Amino acid sequence: MDMDITLSDYEYEIYVIKKYIHKFIKDKIIVSALYPKSDDFENKECFGDKILGYRVVEMVTTEYDFVPKPGTTSRILDSSVANETLSQLYSRLEIEPYITGPAFSNYKKKADVVEVIICELKRSKDEVAMKVLELLILLLIQHGMFYYMSDEIWRAQCSNRDTMSAIVKYLNSQVPQVRHATCLSGEVVLKVSKYDYN
């Protein structure tokens, strides 16, 4: 599945995000996302969706050194925030065991959980949570840009990679055990040492 290939480029980032998401669940920064039947869930899902759309378009239209061609911004957006993409992230972040009620069988509901998580991270105003959110959104933008391989997009992706490295470095410095745990996997050790160059 193509979509899986693009997210697989970011194994290490997904690993770091997952560790933090599980920590935030334990620390009660993430709560409503685990109760999909509450009124609060729906409101936060709606807000999470808006936070995500806003940030993706803000990045794509203002934070790179080019003006996207007509249609490019909305195509990157559509791909970044698609329910299929978010539901895949839901699976990769291994959130399912924490959810109350029966397992979801459809994309939409899994995507909704990720949107509520986005809302709860944003609203927490916690500095580390903000960084995790930024990393998560950058990951989605990289995914959204995957099919638009112009020079401009390629430069934007390189710039994103630098930003993601810097965020991962920051997150590792916050909770050193996340990094140590990662080093148990030989494959990931190489990716860790990549960040040491900076």
What residues line the site for a second copy (CB under 8 A)?
39-40, 42-44, 46-47, 50-51, 53-54, 56-58, 61-62, 67-71, 73-74, 77, 123
Measured from the CB of residue 63, what is the shortest distance to a second copy in angstroms? 12
Measured from the CB of residue 143, what is the shortest distance to a second copy in angstroms? 18
The whole-angstrom separation of Cα 99 and Cα 110 is: 10
The residue (of 53 and 108) whose beta carbon lies closer to a second copy is: 53
Residue type, position 62, single letter: T
Spatial contact of 41 and 32, defined as CB atoms under 8 Å apart: yes
The residue (of 43 and 193) whose beta carbon lies closer to a second copy is: 43
b/e map 78-105, b = 16+ CB within 10 Å: ebbbbbebbbbbbebbebeeebeeeebe
Measured from the CB of residue 71, what is the shortest distance to a second copy in angstroms? 8
Strand, coil or helix: 53: helix
Measured from the CB of residue 134, what is the shortest distance to a second copy in angstroms? 16
The DSSP secondary-structure symbol of 106 reads: S
The residue (of 137 and 178) whose beta carbon lies closer to a second copy is: 137
The residue (of 31 and 166) whose beta carbon lies closer to a second copy is: 31
The whole-angstrom separation of Cα 178 and Cα 189 is: 13
* Distance in angstroms between the alpha carbons of the first and the last residue of the chain: 33
Torsion of CA 172, 124, 156, 114, to 10 degrees: 100
The residue (of 123 and 161) whose beta carbon lies closer to a second copy is: 123
Measured from the CB of residue 1, what is the shortest distance to a second copy in angstroms? 28
